[in-house]
Chain A
């Protein structure tokens, strides 16, 4: 992959001239996109596999916020100082505000409606009064 980048960014003359800015932008974009997709897919697998509503909310709400910001950052690395970056910054700021708000609203509504969390075999530890 990096040979591809170097071969594409170096001009065709025999003098080796590497456009390091493009290389760094490509690397930053690749790392951000990979991390963002990792978080988004992990959140999705958590929503599919976790046993309870509140644990599913934990998986979806936290990973979606970070994954969305990282994927938008990967796009911002590539679009440079342009009109698209301004719009992407707007989308990122809006998602950063509204995604935890919506998660909190859903959790609050479920708690108000009386949805009980699944406790399973794990109980809160008993308070030992004797000792």
Chain B
């Protein structure tokens, strides 16, 4: 049971690494900026999955905390990079109501 389970999750981790490498190819050769951003986002999701599977393989539940932290960071980084390329600055309010003279 243990060996079959170990080989199964090792194969899963290997497939995730292959998928991450192919996503790096799209990141390097993407024609537009948004292709690269999509590749970075997908790479981050696969990194979270790989961390979870790897922490299960080495039997240390602490590492899932790192995966959770990486998931949070990946989302914030994607939104921040999108905001920067949209406004060319990061200190812009993203509120929906922007009536002139109304905002504090």
* A positions within 8 Å CB-CB of B: 1, 4-5, 8-9, 22, 26, 29-30, 33, 36-37, 40-41, 43-45, 47-48, 53, 56-57, 60-61, 64, 67-68, 71-72, 74-75, 78-79, 82-84, 87-88, 90-91, 94-95, 98-99, 101-103, 105-106, 109-110, 112-113, 115
Instruction: Report whether B32 and A53 are in contact in the complex, using a CB–CB cutoff of 8 Å.
Output: yes
Q: With contacts A88-B64, A106-B38, A109-B86 known, what are 5 further pairs, Cβ within 8 A? A: A4-B4, A47-B26, A53-B34, A75-B53, A105-B79
Chain A interface mostly? helix
Distance in angstroms between the alpha carbons of A98 and B42 in the assembled complex? 12
What mask results when residues 32 to 70 of chain B are scored 1 for a CB within 8 Å of chain A, else 0? Answer: 101101110110011011001101100001001101100
Instruction: Report whether B48 and A40 are in contact in the complex, using a CB–CB cutoff of 8 Å.
Output: no
Q: Tell me whether A79 and B56 are in contact in the complex, defined as CB-CB below 8 angstroms, given that A84-B64, A106-B34, A106-B82 are known contacts.
A: yes
B46 to chain A: closest residue by CB? A40
Instruction: Report whether B72 and A83 are in contact in the complex, using a CB–CB cutoff of 8 Å.
Output: no
Instruction: Report whether B68 and A26 are in contact in the complex, using a CB–CB cutoff of 8 Å.
Output: no
Residues of A within 8 A of B46 (CB): 40, 64
Chain B CB within 10 Å, residue with most, of A29, A30, A98, A102? A102
Distance in angstroms between the alpha carbons of A28 and B45 in the assembled complex? 23
* B positions within 8 Å CB-CB of A: 1-5, 8-9, 12, 15-16, 18-19, 22-23, 25-26, 31-32, 34-35, 37-39, 41-42, 45-46, 48-49, 52-53, 55-56, 61, 64-65, 67-68, 71-72, 74-75, 78-79, 82, 85-86
